[in-house]
Structures are given as C-alpha cells and as structure tokens.
Structure 1
C-alpha cells in the first residue's frame, strides 16, 4: 500500500504533481525546489508543520513533501543548499525547509538533525520540478517604496535570536488594538514557520503575512533586490485592510546578513517610521543602540527580555536615554507617544 505523504507547510500550494525519481540522482536543487523524502532518523525535529498549520508527528519510514532551502538560526541550525548529490539531507526548519546542516548550537550536538533520504522531485505535467518560489513569482512586486507612505511602519529588531523581538512586536500590535488602531504584522525574514505571525494575529492584528506566503522556504542568502521586492509585496498584501500601523519583524540579530543588509539600505529605511530594539540583557541593549547609531539609525525605544528584570532595566536607564517598555506597557499602548520620532541622525 502506498504511504501517505505528509505535506509540509511550505508546500501548501502544491496540488497536482508526479514524482521524478531519476532527477534525484542528477539535479542539484535551487531554493524552493519541492521533493519527497523518506524520514531515516529522528533528531531535533520530531514534528513538521503541515499545510493545515498543524504540527504533525513524524517517525522513521514516513514520507514527507518539503522544499530545499537554507537556514540561519544562532540558537538552532545553520544550513545550506547541497553543493553535490548526497545520500542524506536534513530538516532545517519544521515548516518544511530541507538542506545540508553546516553547524548547530551546542544544545543540539547530541540530538543532531532529523535525517532524510531524497526519494524524488515533485514535477508538473511538463516534467519541470515544482518550485515554491516560482509558483508565487507572479505575486511578487518590484520595490518602489511607495507602499510605506500609506501607513506608519514600525520595525521590530533585536540583538540576536530569542532576544524578545517577536514578543515585543506582538504586544505592540496588542497595544495598537487596545488603543483602537487598525494594525497589520509582517514577518519579513527568517525560516518558514507560522508561529510568529500566528502570535501576532492572536494578539489582535487585523492581517498578517510572511515570506512563506509567497513561497520562500527561507530568506537566508537572498539577494538584496529580492528582499526589497519581498518587502513591497508583503506590505501590499496587508495594506488591503488599510492599517494605521504595520509592525514588521526582521529575524535574528542586527549582525545577521539579511538584517544588516536591510538596515543599511537607505531606500528600505526611508519607509520606516520607528524602530523598537529588543535585547536579552543590559550590555546587548546598550551596545545594540550604539551599533544602530553607527548604521545612522536612532532607535525609538527599547524592549525585550531584559525588561523582565528591574535591575537590568536600571542598568540600561543609567546609560541610555531612550524610553524602555515592558511587554505589559506595550500592550497598554504606552509606546504610542514616542512612535513619531525620527530614526535617522541629522547630518
């Protein structure tokens, strides 16, 4: 009996396909190429996110549909597209991103990645490999910067992965809703998984979107032009609800490739009205603000994990003059009075 294919979230748009087994022996994949894999051993990922946005348990012998991609996650995995045909591949992200593991956080060294065997590529009626990014290419808009003039755009960035920027963004959304403003949320970069935009929606966002909506298994190693076009596209998607505010989260820390690329792009930053910087401790908060100033960005306010500690907040307040908000204060709308400040240094 043929095994049921467990389709991951990134492959949600793949409907009619056949499997080309021969291409598995000859084709080096591009980001977004869809394939079927057999689960060999279970490592870090014991579940994948399905097309129904449900966490599905996987066991050895299962067949999953996923897409090749990359990952940059300092607290988890670093992984890339294969440079040669391999016997084994790895789940890099639960949303369906598969590649070759390059490094992992020490906490996963013993567990390792979940290991897969490539069965074959999913192909269309013309025997072309189905690619999630190409499937959505008709939706992509060229960057113009005009969309940001229709709403106020707030950028949520952080010192590193797990510094609190997603929580900051979600509670900021909640604060806007509690003060009766229509709000949208965009997760602009990262590895596909809907958790962050789902949280923002649960916290009151009128509309949410992320890069996975247009077929990106990951944004790691994307070209700068591609990132700008992605921003334009997602902003247009959420603008249909006519939001007063759009909160945008960029993944990982400000030293990460795509984050730094966007923060130093004047065309992108020209459309940003305010920056909320999240940090895990007092040192990263203070030095993060100085690093942003070196990028000619004046952050609007601070939040993040360090605000859970009154002592850490006091250390920061003694060294930085910016407003500092706990997540409770963000939900109460306390940040509203500082969101109009300019983020650029004057010449």
Structure 2
C-alpha cells in the first residue's frame, strides 16, 4: 500500500473537514472503495459551474479554479432551490460539488435557474486515510457514539422551540435569529441548533450574531449533510447536540430543521413521539399566506403548539391580512420577534394550547 503525503498549502480544506488532521492520500483505492457519507477525499476541480467557491475551515469562502485541489467529503444533498445529489454507487470519472461546505456526490437534479451554468465538476484524486490506511470519515470523528437515544424524561428544561417552514428559503433561519434577539432582550439565555441540512455555517453564524450564547449544527459532529440519514441516527445526533447546548444552561434552545414539512427527515422527526415530546412550541415560516395556514394546520394535527406564523410572507401586508382574516394563528412580524415582549407571546401560546386541549377533552366527553 503506497500512500502519498500532500502539503496543506497545495489544497483548500473545506469546513466539513476542519477536524481532519491527516494529509495521507491513498490513490490506489479510488476505483474500488465505495464511499460512505463523510468519507474524506482529495478532489481536483475540472469545470467551474454553480459553485465558484468553497467554505474553508476558518469560515472564509475561497474561490476555486480548474486544477485546484480541495479536501472534501462524499455525501447526499436535498435542496429544492438548488441541487439534489447522492453518494455514488460506483466509481465515476466526474463528480459534482453538491454543497459549498464541502459535499461531493453525483447530481440527480438541479433547479431550472441553474440549468445553464450547471454544476461544478471534480475528479477524485484519492481518499484521505490514517496511518493504518483506513479511510477517514468525519462523522463522529474524535467522539464516542452514545448508547441511547434522547429521552424526554431527562430533558425537562430548557424549553425547545422549533423553527420550521414550508420549504427552503421560507425564512426559518431569519425567524430563529429574530426570536433569539427578542429572547436575549428579555434576559433569556438562548442556544441554537440547526439539526438538519447540508454543511455550511452561514445559518448558525447569523443566529450567533443575533444573540445565541451557543450556536451549533450537525456538521459539529462531522455530518456533511443529514439527507438520507435514518431517524435513529438523527435522534442520536440530536442527543449529542442537545447535551452540548445544555452545557451552558440555556433558558431556551431554538432548533431549526431544514427544508419543509414534507421533506424526508423533517417529516420523520416531526412524526417521532420521542422527538415531539421534548418540544414546547413551533415558530412556522412560510412563503405565502395559503402555505402559512396549511402548514400550521398540519402541525396542529400532529399536536404541536404553533406559537405563531412568520417568514417571507410577512413582508407583504396583504398576505399578512389574509392569514389574520382566514385563521386564528398569530402572525409574528420581524419587529415583534425581536422585541423583549416575545417572551409574553410564548407563555400565552402555551396557556392557549392547554385551554384548547381541555375544551376539546370536555367536548369529547359530552
């Protein structure tokens, strides 16, 4: 087994590989090793398309050009506004960059707005290995896997508020950041977790800047993405992130789940009884008035406490009026989320939910 040592100055290390210290590369197995999500490799840029930059370990976005080498990982991606891609099932001469944080795979579809530019293509130089020749995988790197899933009985505090939405770019992260700002003004300590998505630290950085005392995401435990993960694996990941967030003793943990309610992992989590029992309420972001109401209705049918609806649609006074006139859901504008009075809204939402549940129970008896 012949290993090649590559100088760090000769490649750009993507942020998902920030905990990888090895620079040993095995080129001989690139045609025979079937990669798993998180497997680290060196890739050469062949043709620049949609992705013109990669996010590197210090958070900076560096431009990439044909011939450049990058250290990245194989993974899957689900992004309705961008790319869909998967782990390769066989060796390919060309792979595609699926995510700017360093996710590589084979593209299955691309949004029509990027069809002309196309994806950025790369070739596989070789896999990054340790001194024994084992391919390095970023998932849970330097961490011992937990033996049990998250248990609601062990997590009675702090409050967990979910930031959910109708889909990608509906305003989930902005809403989470605004809520964090309001809670901070109300003298509450907030931790933020982005539980699902594709590696890229822009969202966690935004919520941190708006006042989160701790800001985490799935990539902290080496996940290049969470697409195609099992529900069990997501719950274990959540336990890791939750326990880390609890270390600062926050009053509230804001948990953002990527994409929309119909997406594979989002739907699985919301329908999981273990995950659901730990949730105080949901802040729901939507792109338009109709989806705000229909999405909130879906959450209510799953017995979630809908604190309020917000998101992109709130930039239109007409759509705000539509939601207010056609539903009983509280519309939360950006200024309201960023006000210290938001703490009163949270408390009132829970009281209202308890009252409605009692009324429903009484009606059922009658």
Q: Which moved more, 1:54-63 or 1:322-331?
A: 322-331
Q: For 1:301 and 1:44, how far apart are their aligned partners in 2?
A: 36
Residue 66 (structure 1) aligns with: 72
Residue 53 (structure 1) aligns with: 59
Q: CA deviation at 1:270?
A: 0.4
Residue 124 (structure 2) aligns with: 118
Using the size of structure 2 for normalisation, the TM-score is 0.91
**Correspondent of 2:133 among 127, 132, 138:** 127
Within the alignment, does 1:168 sit opposite 2:153 as a pair? no
Using the size of structure 1 for normalisation, the TM-score is 0.96
Q: For 1:159 and 1:61, how far apart are their aligned partners in 2?
A: 39
Q: For 2:331 and 2:38, how far apart are their aligned partners in 1?
A: 40
Q: 5 Å matches for 1:128-143?
A: 128-138=134-144, 140=146, 142-143=148-149
Residue 38 (structure 2) aligns with: 32
Q: CA deviation at 1:297?
A: 2.6
Question: Structure 1: where are the runs of 5+ without partners?
Answer: none
Residue 262 (structure 1) aligns with: 269
Aligned residues: 347
Q: 1:266 to 1:24 in 2, by over 3 A?
A: same
SS of residue matched to 1:24: coil
Within the alignment, does 1:22 sit opposite 2:28 as a pair? yes
Aligned 8 A contact 2:37 2:73 in 1: yes
Within the alignment, does 1:335 sit opposite 2:326 as a pair? no
Q: For 2:154 and 2:81, how far apart are their aligned partners in 1?
A: 34
Q: For 1:238 and 1:141, how far apart are their aligned partners in 2?
A: 19
Within the alignment, does 1:323 sit opposite 2:340 as a pair? no
**Correspondent of 2:256 among 244, 249, 255:** 249
Q: CA deviation at 1:143?
A: 1.7
Residue 95 (structure 1) aligns with: 101
Aligned 8 A contact 1:20 1:120 in 2: yes
Q: For 2:69 and 2:154, how far apart are their aligned partners in 1?
A: 42
Q: 1:184 to 1:295 in 2, by over 3 A?
A: same
**Correspondent of 1:154 among 161, 179, 203:** 161
**Correspondent of 1:229 among 225, 233, 236:** 236
**Correspondent of 1:80 among 86, 91, 102:** 86
Residue 289 (structure 1) aligns with: 296
Question: Structure 2: where are the runs of 5+ without partners?
Answer: 1-5, 362-366
Aligned 8 A contact 1:252 1:259 in 2: yes
Aligned 8 A contact 2:22 2:128 in 1: no
Within the alignment, does 1:13 sit opposite 2:16 as a pair? no
Within the alignment, does 1:275 sit opposite 2:256 as a pair? no
Residue 317 (structure 2) aligns with: 310
